[in-house]
């Protein structure tokens, strides 16, 4: 298996961290509301979005946070 340079790894890590922040800013109201009062249905009613769209936003945010935390752990070691 070919090694990836440290510069490439840092670039990839930066991409995921920026992606996480940008996604959060674009969906901040829905994500914050879900953190305060979990429940896809009441958020979908309030926003006019369907439940699947709200679910995908929350799920994607959770995955982005997980990726960012893994990156931080990898850089810490």
Cα–Cα dist 52/57, whole Å: 9
Question: Where do the domains of the chain lie?
Answer: 27-77
- Virtual torsion, Cα 34, 37, 39, 40, nearest 10 deg: -30
Q: What is the pTM of this model?
A: 0.84
If one counts every other C-beta atom within 10 angstroms of the C-beta of residue 29, the result is 11
Cα–Cα dist 64/16, whole Å: 7
What would the pLDDT profile of 19-75 be if each residue is shown by its tens digit? 999 999 999 999 999 999 999 999 999 999 999 999 999 999 999 999 999 888 887
| Overall size of the chain counted in residues | 77
> 3-class DSSP state for residue 51?
helix
pLDDT on residue 33: 96
Assign 77 a pLDDT band (cuts: 50, 70, 90): low
pLDDT on residue 1: 42
Residue 17 pLDDT > 70, yes or no? yes
């Amino acid at each position: 298996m070919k090694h990836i340079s440290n510069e490439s790894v840092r670039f990839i890590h930066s991409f995921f961290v920026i992606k996480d922040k940008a996604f959060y800013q674009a969906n901040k109201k829905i994500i914050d509301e879900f953190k305060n009062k979990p429940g896809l249905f009441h958020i979908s009613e309030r926003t006019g979005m369907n439940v699947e769209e709200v679910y995908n936003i929350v799920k994607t945010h959770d995955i982005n946070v997980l990726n960012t935390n893994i990156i931080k752990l990898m850089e810490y070691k």
